[in-house]
Each structure stands twice: as structure tokens, then as C-alpha cells.
Amino acid sequence: MTYQLPTPAQPFKIGTRGSPLALWQAHEVRRSLMVALDLPTEAFEIVVIKVTGDQILDKALKDIGGKGLFTREIEDALLDGGIDIAVHSMKDMPTVQPAGLILDCYLPREDVRDGFVSPGAGGLMDLPQGAVVGSSSLRRRAQLAHRRPDLQLVEFRGNVQTRMKKLQDGVAAATFLAMAGLNRLGMAGVARPIAVTDMLPAVAQGAIGVERRLTDERAEEMLVAIHHGPTGHRLAAERAFLARLDGSCETPIAGLAVFDGDTIWLRGEVLRPDGSKVISGEVRGSIAQGADLGRSLAADLLDRAGPGFFG
């Protein structure tokens, strides 16, 4: 070991958003590091950082700046040295990190599926004609509009608890939440999982990433001890796919990479925001080629979509 381990007197600072799910994820990173490095709880400090995306809940993400709204303030704290690492839900992460930062540590991926949540309907096709469905995700909204164009889709932002309360208050008849988050919060029973063949998930859904300063060798060596290689390989393919498509919160995109023996199988789709058209495809190749496969699939979908597809 070539670095000084953190101590209660000089704790290793873990930055995170303040939602219950974000805090669970930060605590899981801390627990993993404690086990891997045989350190006490007091050797770590969890630092809650307020981000713009959690403070402005009455507007769509695309109207206030997109995915960076959930990461910018945390990354600023990381660059300034206020924290040592940052914990993120990978589906919220832009495909390019600010200069000086790197994402190269992932925990084992959770359930990638979306979950259907409704007080009165057992599934999407059980909803009555014209029912109101709430979602802040352009991907989910486009997928829903494609399958059920009769539904009324409304903006539905906030953490898991906030969205559940909106359902109870009758703001919408149903919503969709990531099964990974529900599992982590012990709330899986409120949702019905949707097969990925029916609703392809967001790129990197279910994965937790840990970001660090590029020059911080201590953090690098500590994080190697908890990095889950298989999740890293899957995300390399998915995030390369997303990056080639220039994915943002204004673009309905879905993608999922899974292992099939010693190969990786990547499925992806792009949708018109109104759900009127879906273009999908898949590729297979060696695990080491994941990023190349992602870029190849994206190029194919872009070519088939043609100019103006997202207009």
C-alpha cells in the first residue's frame, strides 16, 4: 500500500446528493470501502451537497439544463478539494466529465428494469383510455406514447418518496420508477417490474458510479478495491453508445448491454419524443470491444434515423 489510509481524525470525504436513495448509495460505497480496506465507519464522512436538479422541481429537466443539474455542484466540490470522491446514479451522468475528473469505479449493478407503479392498475395495458401518467423521463414518455398514444403524459419530478405522494394525491394514475432504486430502498413491493423487451431501460440504469480527481492516486488505489469489472464493461458499451448519439435529457434513448457467454450483447433504441417512431438495433462482440460496439450501434441508428429525427 503506497498511501496513507484515512482515519477518524482525517476522514475520507464522500460527496452525494441528499435524497434518501442518493444517501443509500453513498453509504453503500462507504460500507464497501470499510470492508475492502478494514476501516471503521469514522474513517469516512458523507458530505451532502445540494444540486440544482433537486431544488427546481416544477420544470422539466430539458428546460433547466439537462443531466448536469444533478452533478455540477458535486463535481465543483470534488475539483475544489472539498470532497475526495463523488457518488452518482450513473443514468444521471453526462457522458463527458469535467477536465480533471474521471469515472472508473462502479459497484455491482442492480436490477436494470423499470417498474410500473399505480394505486389502481396492475399494468400499463390495464390503464383506462386517456389515463394520466406522470414521468419526468423523456425516454419513458416516448416509449409510453408509442405503446399507448391515448394516455395523457404529465411532468412528474422529485425523489421516489415525492413521486409516491403525488400518486397518493391523485396527480396521476400511474408512474414509472427504476427497480434498482426501489430495491435499494426496500420498496420493491410497490412496483411491477417491466421486462426489458417491453421497455428498454435508460443507459446505465441500476449502476452506481464513483468519480474522483484524475490526479488523486490515493483515491484511485482505494477505489480499485471495490470496482466491479463486469459492470464497468457493460457501461463502457452503453455509455459509448449514448455518447455517439450525443444523448442528453432532450433525446429519448434507451440502451442495455448484457453478457452472453464470453461476448457482450448490446441493444439500443432511439425514439421520436412523441413516440411516433422507434428505431432499434443490436450488436454482439467480444467484451473487450464494448465501447467500439456502442459506437457502431449508435452510428447505425443515426444513419437509419436520418436528419431531423429528433425534431
Cell of 132: 394520466
The strand pair at 12-16 and 85-89 is best described as parallel
CA gyration radius, the chain: 20
Residue-level pLDDT at 99: 97
* Positive/negative CA dihedral, 166, 171, 174, 176: negative
Answer yes or no: are the C-beta atoms of 43 and 12 closer than 8 Å.
Answer: yes
DSSP 78-126: HHHTS-SEEEEEGGG--SSPPTTEEEEEEPPP----EEEE-SS-SSGGG
- Cβ neighbours of residue 194 closer than 8 Å, sequence gap 6 or more: 113, 114, 115, 116, 124, 176
Confidence band for 22, pLDDT divided at 50, 70 and 90: very high
Residue 92 annotated as catalytic: yes
Residue type, 62: K
Cell of 137: 423521463
Residue-level pLDDT at 64: 47
Cell of 8: 477518524
Cell of 112: 436494470
Residues carrying CATH 3.40.190.10, the chain: 12-109+205-227, 114-193
Let me know how long the chain is: 311
Residues 235-288 pLDDT 10s: 999 999 999 997 655 789 999 999 999 999 999 999 999 999 999 999 999 999
Fold for the domain defined by 239-304: Double Stranded RNA Binding Domain (3.30.160)
- Cβ neighbours of residue 266 closer than 8 Å, sequence gap 6 or more: 237, 238, 241, 255, 256, 257, 282, 283, 284, 290, 293, 294, 297
Answer yes or no: are the C-beta atoms of 275 and 221 closer than 8 Å.
Answer: no
Q: Which of 92, 111, 114, 216 is catalytic?
A: 92
Fold for the domain defined by 114-193: D-Maltodextrin-Binding Protein; domain 2 (3.40.190)
Residues carrying CATH 3.30.160.40, the chain: 239-304
CA angle 170, 176, 181 (to 5 degrees): 115
Residues 72-125 pLDDT 10s: 899 999 999 999 999 999 998 989 999 999 999 999 999 999 999 999 899 999
Q: Which residue has the cell 430502498?
A: 185
| Cα 90 to Cα 192: distance, rounded to the nearest angstrom | 23
Is the pTM here over 0.75, yes or no? yes
Domain 12-109+205-227 sits in which CATH superfamily?
Periplasmic binding protein-like II (3.40.190.10)
Answer yes or no: are the C-beta atoms of 282 and 297 closer than 8 Å.
Answer: yes
What is the percentage of the chain residues whose pLDDT exceeds 70? 92
Answer yes or no: are the C-beta atoms of 235 and 90 closer than 8 Å.
Answer: yes
| Cα 33 to Cα 231: distance, rounded to the nearest angstrom | 17
Residue-level pLDDT at 24: 97
Instruction: Say if residue 311's pLDDT is above 70.
Output: no
